[in-house]
Amino acid sequence: MNERRDAVLREMGLAPLWRLRGRSQARQADEPEAVPEEPAAARPSATKAGEVSMRERQASHQPQPAPVPQPAPVAVAQSADSMDERAGRIETLDWEALEADIRACTACRLCERRRQAVPGVGDRLADWMFVGEGPGAEEDLRGEPFVGVAGKLLDAMLAAIGLKRGEGVYIANAVKCRPPHNRTPGNDEIEACAPYLARQIALVQPRLLVALGRPAARALLGVDVAIGAARGQVFRYRGTPVVVTYHPAYLLRNQRDKAKVWEDLCFARELMEKTTPA
């Protein structure tokens, strides 16, 4: 193993494999996040409250204009027919139309509290496609998947097998809007986003899909799987091979399982080499 790979493995905490680094303070993707409260409005002092003029008292009894409500995205319940129609429409979209549709989506409740939707990023003709769970706080702010601490670990994982974000790699998520407090997305939310993920895969046409975590595996396989039991197996998504491993955010709190992910990435690389076109 060359010096560059050794450095990358040290970044992943895999040099040596049995040595664990200190517990990261980064938040896992499914860990609830404290939401800061808005500061309370300043209250007038008792002295000032007693100095209100008669004109101010009279003005306070005048009718005040009602506040204008601000429009917000509203999730719309859809019938089976309309869901099929929506999926059929999404199947016809090109990249630009697809990403615009994702950003305007109101198909599930996740639209109600997002800052912005996060479509995906990377090489649109990639051989490798990595599918994560959903955007976190940083991703919701910046509009790009895997840009926080877990994203840095993912970049190290890619480098360990000779890959680089944006070069032969496309990265997307099972759901495109951040679940509140980084909770795990519900099955209904995964299903609402499924046509978007399907269209991304159809446009990229990757030779290999890597599911990062249980929600991503469900989005690709249509069933819940235990990551520990699914590791080392080859599944299929519409004919495309799928390899399942742990999500980088999970590894931030479970350092010893980084060695398992290294094994999974090596397995995926060997699988890719076996299927390299002549």
DSSP per-residue codes, 81-132 = HHHHHHHHHHTT--HHHHHHHHHT--SSGGGGT-SS---EEE-TT-SEEEEE
Residue 111 within a domain: yes
Please give the model's pTM, rounded to 2 decimal places: 0.75
Domain count, the chain: 1
Task: Give the position of tokens 């060695």.
Answer: 259
Nearest-angstrom CA–CA distance, 221 and 273: 23
Q: Show the tokens assigned to 211.
A: 């599911």
Per-residue model confidence (pLDDT) at position 83: 86
Least confident range of 51-55, 81-85, 104-108, 133-137 = 51-55
Q: Show the tokens assigned to 221.
A: 């396989």
Residue 131 within a domain: yes
CB 184 within 8 A of CB 250: no
At 275, is the pLDDT very low, low, confident or very high (cuts 50, 70, 90)?
Answer: confident
Nearest-angstrom CA–CA distance, 217 and 209: 10
Q: Identify which of 205, 187, 190, 203 has the alpha carbon closest to the alpha carbon of residue 241.
A: 205
Q: Identify which of 80, 63, 149, 134 has the alpha carbon closest to the alpha carbon of residue 102.
A: 134
Kindly state the percentage of the chain with pLDDT values over 70: 70
Instruction: Write out the H or E segment, with its range, that includes residue 65.
Output: none
Classify residue 106 by burial, with Cβ atoms within 10 Å: 0-12, 13-18, 19+.
middle
Average pLDDT over residues 179-195: 95
Average pLDDT, the chain: 81
Residue 263 within a domain: yes
Residue 26 within a domain: no
In 3-state terms, what secondary structure has residue 212? strand
Least confident range of 37-41, 132-136, 254-258 = 37-41
Residue 244 within a domain: yes
Q: Which residues lie below 8 Å from residue 198, measured CB to CB, with a gap of 6+?
A: 87, 90, 91
Q: Identify which of 98, 96, 95, 74 has the alpha carbon closest to the alpha carbon of residue 86.
A: 98
Q: Which residues lie below 8 Å from residue 203, measured CB to CB, with a gap of 6+?
A: 94, 95, 98, 124
Average pLDDT over residues 162-181: 96
Per-residue model confidence (pLDDT) at position 156: 95
Residue 105 within a domain: yes
Per-residue model confidence (pLDDT) at position 144: 94
Residue 6 within a domain: no
At 7, is the pLDDT very low, low, confident or very high (cuts 50, 70, 90)?
Answer: low
As a residue count, the chain comes to 278
- How do residues 96-121 score in pLDDT, each as one tens digit? 999 999 999 999 999 999 999 999 99
Average pLDDT over residues 72-94: 78
Average pLDDT over residues 129-139: 95
Please give the C-alpha separations between residue 228 and each of 131, 146, 184, 233, 245, in angstroms, as whole numbers: 17, 23, 18, 11, 8
Nearest-angstrom CA–CA distance, 79 and 60: 49
Residue 206 within a domain: yes
CB 109 within 8 A of CB 75: yes
Give the domain extent around 153: 73-274
CATH number at residue 137: 3.40.470.10
